[in-house]
Amino acid sequence: MIHKLPPLKQMLKQLQQVPYLASKNLYRVAVHFLDMDDQALEQFCKSLADAKKNLEKCSICCAWKERQRVCLFCFDTKRDQSVVCVVEAWQDLLAIEKTGGYKGVYHVLGGSICPLDGIGPEQLSIELLVQRTKTDIKEIILALNQTPEGEATSAYIAQKLIGTVIISCLAQGLPVGASLEYMDRLTVYKAISERRPF
Amino acid sequence: MIHKLPPLKQMLKQLQQVPYLASKNLYRVAVHFLDMDDQALEQFCKSLADAKKNLEKCSICCAWKERQRVCLFCFDTKRDQSVVCVVEAWQDLLAIEKTGGYKGVYHVLGGSICPLDGIGPEQLSIELLVQRTKTDIKEIILALNQTPEGEATSAYIAQKLIGTVIISCLAQGLPVGASLEYMDRLTVYKAISERRPF
């Protein structure tokens, strides 16, 4: 029936490309937009276009920043510019910022090495990171995801930078609130083998 | 950190209003739009605006139809215009259309009676349905959801139309592929009490 309503078909095709929108909810989302008043829809589209127009990636750390303004991290004198935390994506940066416990700067790679998906080191901002470490940088924290791709990327970066800076990585062990009984074997193994003085 | 990037904050505020977009995925969806090229984003927004501009609700059955064109159902001479299937939402109409087994017309109520949400009979297209039954209509099929609200709405409509047309409702019983062992008590009860000749 949808193919008999071309504007609707076109809209559904576009909505299908939005990630994390389950196809079973697609019709409801379409109806949400159809039921919106003209002004609200215009505002929705304007906010997307404005964000796209006014934001760009910082040429140093690759995090999002406002165009014509300096990066919130790279030009913040209160931050320790000699410690760089390397993350896969900007969302990971936000997760670390939310903790409020990190006062260094960041480097957003833009993904992790995954040959199956055609993502090699050239597709990520690894070369930029290597160039960056030639300036006043003392420590690199590898804060990549604990996935095979994330670990491979960490290993690749570590091998590139070894001997030039201090390289550290995130602590592995039990998450806060965990019961030993329900944790996976590997996490418990990491927690016991990397035990620390109390 | 987000509040320091106003265009991004504005975009996230708009995306939050999209139904079925979990808040934990919001940042990833935002990045999807930021990473889109200008043309693709423009096309996305255009498809929403076009759909909104070119679609309207049919004044007879309240289903979506193209502006300046006749309704796909109400003016289809191959359909039995004397049988009206009443559904809560347009998505329910699509579910029935997908079966390919129904050849009558529809009436979309726009929801179900729910006093707690402030939805009374006046907020739905029930009066329009009552007016419609005064024309050449023989049968009304109540195809509302099997929820308390759906059943209350069915009862309300049935009471309004009783004596004027044939009123039927969807069959209740075991879904296709069901094991008796795993079905809920009420469904098994319905299936046995409304048993039919083999």
Pairwise CA distance, residues A93 & A81, whole Å = 16
Determine the distance in angstroms separating the CA of B138 from the nearest CA of chain A, rounded to an integer.
25
Q: Do B47 and A72 touch (CB under 8 A)?
A: no
Q: Which two tokens stand for residue B1?
A: 């950190």
Write out pLDDT tens, residues A10-51: 999 999 999 999 888 999 999 999 999 899 999 999 999 999
A72 touching B (Cβ < 8 Å): yes
pTM of the full predicted structure?
0.81
In chain B, the domains with their CATH numbers are 2-53 (1.10.8), 81-168 (3.40.1360.10)
| Residue A196 binned pLDDT confidence (cut-offs 50, 70, 90) | confident
* Confidence at residue A8, expressed as pLDDT on a 0 to 100 scale: 92
Q: Do A94 and B27 touch (CB under 8 A)?
A: yes
User: Predicted ipTM?
Assistant: 0.82
Q: Answer whether residue A90 shows pLDDT above 80.
A: yes
B170 touching A (Cβ < 8 Å): no
Q: Answer whether residue A2 shows pLDDT above 90.
A: no
- Find chain A residues with C-beta within 8 A of B14's C-beta: 43-44, 47-48
Amino acid code (one letter) for A61: C
Pairwise CA distance, residues A183 & A37, whole Å = 49
| A100-123: average pLDDT | 93
Write out pLDDT tens, residues B140-164: 999 999 999 999 999 999 999 999 9
Interface probe for B, chosen from A4, A13, A14 (most Cβ of B below 10 Å), is A14
| A86-96: average pLDDT | 93
| Residue B197 binned pLDDT confidence (cut-offs 50, 70, 90) | confident
* Confidence at residue A1, expressed as pLDDT on a 0 to 100 scale: 76
Write out pLDDT tens, residues B80-112: 999 999 999 999 999 999 999 999 999 999 999
A5 touching B (Cβ < 8 Å): yes
